[in-house]
Amino acid sequence: MRSIAALSFCLVAALAQAAERPALSDLGRGVKMRILVDKVMQPTRGWKTEEWMVQEAAKAGFNVFSPRRGAEDLGEVRQVTAWCRQAGIYHQPWMRGVQDVPKDPALSVGKRVVWANGSEQALWSPNSDELWQWLAGYVLPYAEISAQDDTLMGVFLDYENYWPGGAGNLYELSYDDVIMGKFAASKGIALPPLALDRRKAWLDEQKLHDEFRQFQINHWRQKCRELRQAVDRINPKFVFNIYPAPGTMFMLEACYPEWATANAPLLLADPWTYGRSGRFASHEAALKSNQGIIERGKATAEAKGINHIYLG
């Protein structure tokens, strides 16, 4: 089951008055979904959303408002939802899909992201319980708000990686102690002491890497499934919007199959057409190039066979 829609995303405002709000079931299908991730108006007021910002977004033609900050304040989330309802548009709280570990390194030993080259980042691994507890701590209250008022239609999760020591967007396979230990236990093997930059090589040498990859993906899927099931018990129409689409290994292998349901399409926010493909490209050539980018991204999503809306 597939659903595809074009989106005016973040930067380009259609100078039109806000129309009557479409039904949620029509948004992204019969009606184009136009999301404003606001990081222009908010900074003028100390990164706090004010009612006029929502009104300006609606007047400019956007039908979903996603403030760049404020997702951790549930009182503010409820207030923005009320302003969006009054303005005739929808609300998606924006938040990172990842979290920093505590400043005390002892609290996250073995639970941080470890890349294949051995680089470790001060972020919770996707295999850590701490990440999923933190994520559920926000997503489930959002779902509770949405069950009372579908103006809050879902959550916008950003998996871009801005932290030092990264090798790409999040998440790819992590070689942290948590998942290495679980994998070794599942195989009944003794895991030797391994430096971070030796872990992938050791798995390759033991001809275990393919099994390790699938084991970790299955672990991600279980965590995604548990969160989706918890959301469904509150509001099965609550949607996840993930960025940047078409996605990382974590998004493609775990979020796609577990967060897309018959009741709630997975929203896929593609950032790769923000501007011209080349500095000196003509307008016509740039449009053609960006069309190709979107078509390739859509094809990736379509091949997964999930209920989705692809946003360009």
| Res 278: pLDDT | 83
User: 5 falls in which pLDDT band (50, 70, 90)?
Assistant: very low
| Res 49: pLDDT | 98
How far apart are alpha carbons 58 and 51 in whole angstroms? 11
If you average pLDDT over every residue of the chain, what do you get?
A: 93
Q: Do strands 154-158 and 94-96 pair parallel, antiparallel, or not at all (unpaired)?
A: parallel
Q: Angle CA(303)–CA(307)–CA(312) in degrees, nearest 5?
A: 75
The two tokens of residue 310 are: 């692809």
| Res 274: pLDDT | 86
Angstrom CA distances, 172 to 117, 180, 220, 247, stand at 12, 15, 11, 10
Q: What is the pTM of this model?
A: 0.92
Q: pLDDT at residue 9 above 50?
A: no
Cis peptide, bond prior to residue 171, ω within 30 of zero: yes
Tell me if 111 sits within 8 A of 124, measured CB to CB: yes
Q: pLDDT at residue 172 above 70?
A: yes
| Res 2: pLDDT | 44
Q: Give me the mean pLDDT over the 77-85 stretch.
A: 98
The helix (H) or strand (E) run that includes residue 210 is: helix 209-232
Instruction: Give the pLDDT confidence of 238-256 residue by residue, as tens digits.
Output: 999 999 999 999 999 999 9
> How far does CA 86 lie from the centroid of its chain?
27
Residues in the chain, how many? Answer: 312
